[in-house]
């Protein structure tokens, strides 16, 4: 949790510039709850306070980037948007750092990457994050999808992409599978929960209004989801799941078996 004290000089001293992939990944490994980066990474932005790196934003694309944008805006393609894949801030920074940093990053993207019309991101409701940082940064909210994760008996969380790698082991007897019998044989429980959509228009107001006429999503500022809106389901047998409480997680700890898989995404 960020300290509650304010830093009155931060707004005057914080600046944003592009940093190396190595610097960004090192920072993410230290401060972010998830170590898996987007599948494709294109822009690495650092927030500096008195020349000290205190925040990082990594932008790129996740899985199926063309599908992602076309579902939301059928007239756009991958060249028209970028996805906010990772955002993290040093623990010692005040609470308002995230929103201030996002604001600076948006200005930077508008100035240096004018080809992008939108910046899009997911909030991981499945681990209890409803997207307060995006809400505080005046992003548009566009509903949710139901996603999945896998947890072992020690509370280590595994992303679906990583679990596909685990399921190739001889112990499961299957290849690249997330079926119930493979999940349980590997020692994992499958959970379901929400991911919330957020975006911020990088284009002008006129173009944004035109884009709103092409989408079937109800993009809105306000009526945002809260923590109480997060829900979870646990798979208890093949084809059956029940509603449950948020599963207990071991923070950022990943099993050693995942190390090679996680490094692939770096």
Q: What is the 3-state secondary structure (H, E, C) of 143-201?
A: EEEEEEEEEECCCCEECHHHHHHHCCCCCCCCCCCCCHHHHHHCCEEEEEEEEEEEEEE
**pLDDT (mean) for 64-82:** 96
pLDDT at 156: 83
Distances from the Cα of 158 to the Cα of 84, 101, 182, 223, angstroms: 20, 29, 14, 31
Least confident of 13-17, 106-110, 201-205: 13-17
Mean pLDDT for the stretch of residues 79-87: 95
CA–CA gap between residue 205 and residue 228 (Å, rounded): 33
Q: Given this model, what pLDDT does residue 81 score?
A: 98
Q: Domain 10-264 maps to which CATH number in 2.60.40.420, 2.40.30.20, 3.90.950.10, 3.40.630.30? A: 3.40.630.30
Q: How confident is the model at residue 35, as a pLDDT?
A: 62
> Which DSSP letter does residue 71 get?
H
First to last CA, the chain: 26
Distance (Å, rounded) from C-alpha 132 to C-alpha 190?
Answer: 26
Strands 140-152 and 15-18: unpaired
| Cα diameter, the chain | 58
Mean pLDDT, residues 142-154: 91
Q: How many CB atoms lie within 10 A of CB 113?
A: 14
Q: How confident is the model at residue 255 (pLDDT cuts 50, 70, 90)?
A: very low
Least confident of 76-90, 95-109, 166-180: 166-180
Q: Which residue has the tokens 């008195």?
A: 50
Q: How many CB atoms lie within 10 A of CB 47?
A: 26
pLDDT band (50, 70, 90) for residue 155: confident
CB atoms within 10 A of CB 165: 17
Say how far apart CA 257 and CA 251 lie, in whole Å.
17
pLDDT computed for residue 90 by the predictor:
93
Q: φ, ψ for residue 52 (rounded to 5)?
A: -105, 130
pLDDT level of residue 166 (50, 70, 90 thresholds): low
* 1 secondary structure, DSSP code: -
Residue of 256, 127, 144 lying closest to 191 (CA atoms): 127
- Would you say the C-alpha torsion 259, 260, 261, 265 has a positive or negative sign? positive
Mean pLDDT of 14-25: 94
* Predicted local confidence at residue 163, as pLDDT: 66
- Residue 253, pLDDT score: 40
CB 203 within 8 A of CB 211: yes
CB neighbour burial string for 62-76, b if at least 16 within 10 angstroms, e if fewer: beebeebbeebbeeb
């Amino acid at each position: 949790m960020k300290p509650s004290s304010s830093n009155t000089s931060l707004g005057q001293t914080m600046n944003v510039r592009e940093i190396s992939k190595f610097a960004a990944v090192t920072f993410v490994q230290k401060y972010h709850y998830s170590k898996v980066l987007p599948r494709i990474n294109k822009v690495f932005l650092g927030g500096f306070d008195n020349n000290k790196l205190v925040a990082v934003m990594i932008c790129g694309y996740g899985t199926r980037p063309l599908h992602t944008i076309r579902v939301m805006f059928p007239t756009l393609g991958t060249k028209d948007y970028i996805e906010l894949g990772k955002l993290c801030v040093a623990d010692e920074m005040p609470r308002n750092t995230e929103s201030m940093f996002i604001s600076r990053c948006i200005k930077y993207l508008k100035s240096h990457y004018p080809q992008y019309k939108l910046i899009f991101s997911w909030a991981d409701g499945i681990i209890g994050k409803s997207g307060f940082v995006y809400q505080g940064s005046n992003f548009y909210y566009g509903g949710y999808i139901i996603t999945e994760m896998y947890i072992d008996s020690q509370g280590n969380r595994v992303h679906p992409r990583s679990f596909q790698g685990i399921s190739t082991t001889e112990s499961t007897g299957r290849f690249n599978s997330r079926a119930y019998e493979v999940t349980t044989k590997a020692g994992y429980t499958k959970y379901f929960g929400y991911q919330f959509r957020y975006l911020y228009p990088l284009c002008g107001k006129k173009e944004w209004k035109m884009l709103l006429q092409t989408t079937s999503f109800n993009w809105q500022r306000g009526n945002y989801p809260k923590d109480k809106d997060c829900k979870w389901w646990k798979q208890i047998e093949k084809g059956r799941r029940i509603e449950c409480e948020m599963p207990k997680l071991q923070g950022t700890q990943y099993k050693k078996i995942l190390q090679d898989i996680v490094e692939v995404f770096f």
